Amino acid sequence: MPRAWKSPVTAREAAPTPAAQQQALPFLEPAPLVKPLALAPTRVQRLWFCIWLPGLPLEAARSTEAATAVIEEQQGIQRVLLTDQQARAAGVTPGQSANAALALLPTLQLEERSPLREQQALEALAGWLEHFSSFVCIADRDVLLLEIAGSLRLFGGLPELRKKISTGLRQHGFDASLAIAPTPLGATWLARAGRRACIRDEQNLKRVLRELPLDCLQWPEGICSSLMAMGVTTIGDCLRLPREGFVRRFGAEPMIALDRALGHLPDPRNSWRAPERFCADHEMVQEQSDRERLLNICHELLLSLEQFLLTRQLGTQRLSFSFFHLKGSATELRLGCARADRCAERWLELLRIRFDQLVLPEPVIAIRLRSGMTQALQAESARLNFYGCDDRLTRRYSIVELAERLIARIGEQSVHSLCMVAEHRPHYAWRPQSLLSDWASSTLSEIRRNIRRPLWMLPEPALLPADSGYPLHQGDPLRLLDGPERLETGWWDEHGISRDYYTAVNPAGIRLWIFRNRSQPSCWYLHGYFG
């Protein structure tokens, strides 16, 4: 995949400079794009371990054992990006349209490429690789880099380390190309070229790099095709070109990349860190069963959670407390709230409600608080309180908080909101909705006008007795007021209806909603009561 270069500010573009000075320019170091981590320019012998995962889109997407291909949309056509062994054997090749691939192998499993899953897989791998090095770097969407100079001794030398990593990758189900070199770019290019090289000094590096073909550089398509058109096919060919002419034609960036790969220029990288969750313990000197004291400790834990989340601008929707006992397993307590939050006071309020009901079989010796998945918190703008009203007054009316408190008390499964559904069939025209899932979507999008529906609908229509074809309610004949309202719809699922609905009134003056099926007009059903 060609990647757009971050256009570097080269001196040439900046201002017209005298010709003599221009000649020297390409050798100047342009402003580095990333702040170098290592400040010292002194040569520290580093060693980079590159893991290139050419099959990542497939490995991240794979769901079955059947022949699989990953497809990606290119100019409006679904095209095959990668295939597994089985698909390859059937002649499915990258670049084919999805239809052509299916023509070859009708049972082919097609998966759409998911950059998100790839990213997740890559991060999971990066997390695992942190065992081997303190410096792991996600260098590209399919490239991981480890700085291993410092880890060699710990893992018993390079071959041992390499074996560990490559076995681990295989076990994780990844097919990787590995290479080791003194520069990160050098290692990356070697890996991309499929050379299982292990190069420790820069002299060797240059010799090996010279032979690599251009396509492992991942330079923009335009540059590569230009170079190919000049008969330049390897890195060595590039290096043979006059530097000035090269830079004039292709810009400074490729030349910088070459210099970095060869170790002539520093190539600082960013280290990757796994995302954090909050987890904190409070251990007590002695067992404690005073509930107020326990709650206080919980409060302290919540305060440190708040601090943790605040500094990271995060919030969370779920928390869990574990109360450890000397004997027996810990007592767990989980809290959820409708919107991601970090406010200790609010969590404490919810905790109080649940804590009242919590049965602690034994005294507690330690408490642990863990946060659920953290998420970026959408900060709410605070209201300016011009009128001096008590803020708490408005809080009391917040339906969200009411719902949260109800949920805390009687459980998530018992509290719902109602949501209207655009649907002709009366029994499908509304549905309950969980509150914790997504509060925002429960707004009513479309209200049907001019339609009469009873406020009280029976869960199931009830068969009415009938007297010579006329419906009876509690023994009395019904008078039809209005109708029919004919509903014939829902053929697309198993619950299509074809009914005539009527408003009827019984002698007591109660208005009923009744219907009969068009296929069976003698049977009447009661479906609801108007208020």
Residue 60, φ and ψ in degrees, nearest 5: -80, -20
Quick check: 98 binds another protein (CB under 8 A)?
yes
Q: In the set 501, 504, 524, 525, which binds another protein (CB under 8 A)? A: 501
Least Å from the CB of residue 231 to another protein:
4
Strand partners, 480: 504
Q: In the set 242, 328, 459, 509, which binds another protein (CB under 8 A)? A: 242
Q: In the set 24, 33, 103, 152, which binds another protein (CB under 8 A)? A: 103
CA–CA distance, 470 with 397 (Å, rounded to integer): 50
DSSP state at residue 28? S
Strand partners, 68: 109
Quick check: 76 binds another protein (CB under 8 A)?
no
Q: x/- binding map, residues 367-406, to another protein, per CB under 8 A?
A: ----------------------------------------
Least Å from the CB of residue 70 to another protein:
12
Q: x/- binding map, residues 473-492, to another protein, per CB under 8 A?
A: ---------xxxxxxxx-xx
> Which CB sits closer to another protein, 11 or 102?
102
What would the two tokens of residue 429 be?
């025209």
Q: In the set 198, 241, 265, 505, which binds another protein (CB under 8 A)? A: 241
Quick check: 456 binds another protein (CB under 8 A)?
no
- Restricting to residues 167-226, name those near another protein by CB under 8 A: 226
* Burial tier of 518 (Cβ tally within 10 Å: 0-12, 13-18, 19+): middle
CA atoms within 13 A on the CB side of 100: 13
CA atoms within 13 A on the CB side of 257: 22
Least Å from the CB of residue 114 to another protein:
14
Taking alpha carbons only, the member of 84, 92, 189, 174 closest to residue 139 is 189
Q: In the set 131, 172, 200, 448, which binds another protein (CB under 8 A)? A: 448
Antiparallel, parallel or unpaired: β 68-74 and 77-83: antiparallel
Q: What Cα–Cα distance (Å) separates residue 123 from each residue in 95, 117, 126, 269?
A: 28, 10, 5, 16
Quick check: 19 binds another protein (CB under 8 A)?
yes
> Which CB sits closer to another protein, 36 or 91?
91
Cβ atoms 49, 180 nearer than 8 A: yes
Taking alpha carbons only, the member of 459, 457, 471 closest to residue 525 is 471
What residue ranges bind another protein (CB under 8 A)?
A: 16, 19, 78, 90-93, 96, 98-100, 102-104, 106-107, 110, 226, 229-232, 237, 240-242, 244-245, 248-249, 421-424, 446, 448-452, 482-489, 491-494, 500-501, 503
